[in-house]
A and B are shown apart, each in its own frame.
Chain A
Amino acid sequence: MNKLRNFNLPWWLSVGPALLVLCFFMVLPIAIIFSYSLMQADPHGGVVHAFSTDAYLRFLFERDWDDVLQFDLSYFTIFLRSIALAAATTLLCLAISFPAAYYIAGQPPARRNVLLLLITIPFWANLLVRTYCWVLILRDSGLVNTWLGLAGWISSPLPLMYTNGAILIGLVYAYLPFMALPIYATLEKTDWRLINASRDLYANPLQTMRRIVLPLARPGIIAGSIMVFIPSLGAVIAPDLLGGGRKLMIGSLIQLQFSASRNWPFGAANAVILLVFVLLLLYLWRRRGGNTTGAW
């Protein structure tokens, strides 16, 4: 009995303004980025309006002084490092947050609520500030090195910053709540009598985990992995603050091209590749059923 439509504004009045804003300030800018990626770079910044595939060729080749293309994988390496770091971040986040999410889902409602809030706060908290905390801990005069020095275990500071490891810690720390929340949301909806049933049918805790809990938590694990992998891949803050520009990731490479390096077409080409990769991933996820966790 609910076919009565109570909202009768014409669509161009209700949807129109938002549609206009999104097309003008979201779709159009991305179209421009796409077109810039196929143009020539202006050494003073910006682009020369002439067709060129140079920006894409730079991933595999370097143009030497004689204008000959030499095989060079230094940029491609950045892309691979980004994928490797994002994948490692995802796996670490999963390993760290799954037991916690499981434990929280099993708590009584009042306690569950508090524990959930304690994950939700860092979920929304400022990423820059949260990453900066690790600068305080890892830098040469930071907490770890100072304390190790005071304890007499090291004579000179350990080089903790500006390493892949530092970036990895920063990324895991940044996106841990993004994994914990969807897994929790899935487990929370699960009928826990299934677990009792499994125990009743002679499965030990480990077997129950493998045969019952993990398969049931699958949608949450996939959703969480997507929500960690995608922002990790395009991360800017962690490689910038903790990698110090020495260990670039694709996000910081793009940022660099639009600021210091001033090669807009190459930056645009990177952005296009990242965008296509991410959208492809999201499309594949959606085809497999998409987000069913209710975490969003």
Chain B
Amino acid sequence: MTSNSLIEIQQVIKSYTPAVRALDGVSLTIHENEFFTLLGPSGCGKTTLLSIIAGFEKPDAGAVLLDGADISAAPPEKRPVNTVFQSYALFPHMTVLQNVAFGLEMRGIARAEAQVTAQQTLELVMLNDFSARTPAQLSGGQQQRVALARALANRPRVLLLDEPLSALDFKLRKTMRTELKRLQRETAVTFVFVTHDQEEALAMSDRVAVMSDGCVQQIGTPNDIYEYPANRFVADFIGEANLLEGTAEGQTEGVLNVRLTNNTLLTVTHPNAVDGKVVLAIRPERVLLTKTATTENSPNGTILDITYQGNTTCYTVQLDGGMTITALALSAHGGGGQHFACGETVAVHLHHDSLRLLSE
């Protein structure tokens, strides 16, 4: 992976109604040959951003740069960018081959040559035997592959994918994830992928931009945004997190003292000095439960509820002085998979390296 910037989004603003901004000053950089994902809940502006890159929408303000040139005003047919639509948008009156050759023909490539390239691209998505069919004669997964081939046949600088897996069933979705990764590697085309499914985003992307309310909340590798969420929204949206509110009480040598609202004193690894109210986050799988308290950062609690989930078991623990915490542990071999019983008193270990200080 090189780090040459391919697309620059600069302070893009877009609103459909005067009151609501679909995009509120978004800036980000997408590198050459990377699998970049825009992740967020519906209505966060991710699809609008994709439409602006494709040219279906014009930004109200700001610029989109491709290879350093401003393309904000160019119509979609003048951009070396192709889209895989959410519902595929395959032309129903054309065969699979005609669909895939369409873009090449429109660029003035002779029909015969276009069809050869189209056939090769169909091989890439393993649909070479289906070229004479119409889209209606294909399954959902096959339509998805045709949509990919139709876009990739043009060897675009950027491939935009608008929630392409959302219409597929669970198993097919898992297969297509691997498939998309393979296609991205083999074609070396930059993929910009839009999804609301965090698992998809974490599994496939080189980098992820988490969006909400028309703003980018955090950009980073999947590991970054999972392990070091920048704020409360990201921590909450990606995976599960225990959010603990408290007050900072001084810092010594990279360790911050935080007094929680239930009066528990915790230490957190954090480089900077912070004052006032803070929020700490810890993933449930990082919370360790033991029978007896040993060191610091291990307040006592009572087990309220146990949910057996097969490979893991989830414990809901009530800390002394209020505040509940969720802990996730691998299921035990015996005893119904449970290490503890409901109502049992346990020590809740919150390791200072696992606790993250969030900005609001």
Contact = CB atoms under 8 A, between A and B. Distances in A.
Interface in A1-22: 1-4
A4 B54 CA distance: 11
A248 to B, nearest CB: 54
Contacts of B319: none
Contacts of A3: 51, 56-57
Contacts of B81: none
A1 B85 contact: yes
Nearest to A1: B51
Nearest to A3: B57
Q: Is the interface of A mostly helix, strand, loop or mixed?
A: loop
B283 to A, nearest CB: 35
B47 interface: yes
B76 A1 contact: no
A88 to B, nearest CB: 48
B162 interface: yes
B76 A4 contact: yes
Interface in B35-66: 47, 50-51, 54-57
Contacts of B162: 1
A41 to B, nearest CB: 57
Contacts of A4: 55-57, 76
Contacts, number: 18
Contacts of B85: 1
Nearest to A2: B56
A17 B345 CA distance: 83
B121 to A, nearest CB: 23
A87 B83 CA distance: 57
B231 to A, nearest CB: 28
Which of the four size classes fits the interface of chain B?
10 to 19
Most-contacted residue by chain A among B50, B57, B86 (CB, 10 A): B57
* Most chain B beta-carbon neighbours within 10 Å: one of A1, A2, A3, A4: A1
Tier of interface size on chain A: under 10
Nearest to B55: A4
B71 to A, nearest CB: 15
Interface in B147-163: 162
Contacts of B51: 1, 3
B54 to A, nearest CB: 7
A19 to B, nearest CB: 29
Interface in B237-292: none
A266 to B, nearest CB: 53
Interface string A106-122: 00000000000000000
Interface in B198-213: none
A4 B57 CA distance: 7
Contacts of A2: 56
A2 to B, nearest CB: 7
Nearest to B58: A3
Nearest to B57: A3
Contacts of B55: 4
A4 B56 CA distance: 5
Nearest to B54: A1
Interface string A195-207: 0000000000000
Nearest to B162: A1
B266 to A, nearest CB: 46
Contacts of A1: 47, 50-51, 54, 56-57, 83, 85-86, 162
Contacts of B56: 1-4
Interface string A179-211: 000000000000000000000000000000000
Nearest to B83: A1
B163 to A, nearest CB: 11
Nearest to B51: A1
Nearest to B47: A1
A3 B50 CA distance: 13
Contacts of B57: 1, 3-4
A280 B83 CA distance: 50
A34 B234 CA distance: 68
Nearest to A4: B56
Contacts of B83: 1
Contacts of B76: 4
Nearest to B160: A1
A4 B89 CA distance: 15
A3 B59 CA distance: 12
Nearest to B56: A4
A118 B310 CA distance: 59
Interface in B1-58: 47, 50-51, 54-57
A8 to B, nearest CB: 11
A141 B56 CA distance: 72
B40 to A, nearest CB: 16
A111 to B, nearest CB: 25
Interface in B73-94: 76, 83, 85-86
A4 to B, nearest CB: 5
A3 to B, nearest CB: 5
B17 to A, nearest CB: 13
A3 B55 CA distance: 10
B92 to A, nearest CB: 17
A2 B57 CA distance: 8
A3 B327 CA distance: 47
B55 to A, nearest CB: 8
A36 B103 CA distance: 61
Q: Which 5 pairs of residues, A with B, have the shortest CB-CB distance? A: A4-B56, A1-B51, A1-B56, A3-B57, A3-B56
Given A3-B56, A4-B56, 11 more contacts: A1-B47, A1-B51, A1-B54, A1-B56, A1-B57, A1-B85, A1-B162, A2-B56, A4-B55, A4-B57, A4-B76
18 contacts: A1-B47, A1-B50, A1-B51, A1-B54, A1-B56, A1-B57, A1-B83, A1-B85, A1-B86, A1-B162, A2-B56, A3-B51, A3-B56, A3-B57, A4-B55, A4-B56, A4-B57, A4-B76
Interface of A: 1-4
